[in-house]
Amino acid sequence: MTGTTLTVPTPAEVRQWLHSYYLLRAAVSGLWVAAAFMFGTSHVAIGAVLLIVYPAWDAVANVIDAQHNGGLTRNPIQAVNAIVSGVTTAGVAVAFGFGMHAVIGVFGVWATLAGLLQLAVGVRRWKTYGAQWAMVLSGAQSALVGAVFLKQAFGGAAPSIADIAPYAAFGAFYFLVSALWLTASAARRRRMSSATA
């Protein structure tokens, strides 16, 4: 009987993957923000779907990222992040039955946990792949925004998808910055290789 062996990618292959992955995350988050402001704020049903889809996509994205980096076993932080986002997806769906205060409360817990996990992944990857400062900063900011969401969950004013969209917009920005930084880092490595050849 033969087992399936996952190929461990080289640092160069991971950097190439991360560049594409960060661009994909930036594009999806950007589209989500646009849809939130264009349709989610005026159509309750669309807003609800968008709020459920957002953590669901994060769960899928973490699994895809882990698979391109040696699998979930070699990337336990992404595995935990995927589980947290999956549970959040179900939590948001249930929270709609209790109103938007409950929904933003769930987002607050998720933003805090996901932010800390993203920060941990960024720190772990920094030495090997570089260009992770934006991911570390994004994770830290996400954790702080989570506290703001939790405060809003217990506030008087009714929150809406418009309160969550800026959080997603900042996520898109940081993913884009990370992709561009990896591009610049790759260009510097090529110049250094040419200079020493």
- Taking the CA atoms of the chain, what radius of gyration do you get in angstroms? 18
Taking residues 168-185, what's their average pLDDT? 92
Q: What is the mean pLDDT of residues 15-26?
A: 93
Cα 183 to chain centroid distance, Å, stands at 20
In terms of C-beta density within 10 A (0-12 exposed, 13-18 middle, 19 or more buried), how is residue 116 classed?
middle
pTM for the complete prediction? 0.89
- pLDDT recorded at residue 142: 96
Which pLDDT does position 130 carry in this prediction?
A: 65
Q: Give the span between the Cα atoms of 47 and 104, in whole angstroms.
A: 13
Identity (one letter) of the amino acid at 26? A
Helix, strand, coil percent content, the chain, rounded in steps of 5? 85, 0, 15
Domain ranges of the chain: 12-185
Confidence bin at 5 (pLDDT 50/70/90) = low
Of 79, 80, 110, nearest to 92 (Cα)?
A: 110
Is the distance from CB of 75 to CB of 69 less than 8 angstroms?
yes
pLDDT of residue 139: 93
Q: Which residue has the higher pLDDT, 133 or 197?
A: 133
C-alpha–C-alpha distance, residues 128 and 124, integer Å: 8
pLDDT of residue 70: 86
Do residues 125 and 67 lie in contact, with contact meaning Cβ atoms separated by under 8 Å?
no
pLDDT of 99: 95
**What mean pLDDT is predicted for residues 170-190?**
88
End-to-end CA distance of the chain: 47
DSSP 104-162: HHHHHHHHHHHHHHHHHHHHHHHHHH---HHHHHHHHHHHHHHHHHHHHHTSSSPP-HH
| 3 state DSSP class of 88 | helix
> Would you state the structure tokens that stand for residue 24, as one six-digit string?
């994909």
Write the pLDDT tens digit of every residue in 100-159: 999 999 999 999 999 999 999 888 887 777 668 888 999 999 999 999 999 999 998 889
Q: How confident is the model at residue 48 (pLDDT cuts 50, 70, 90)?
A: very high
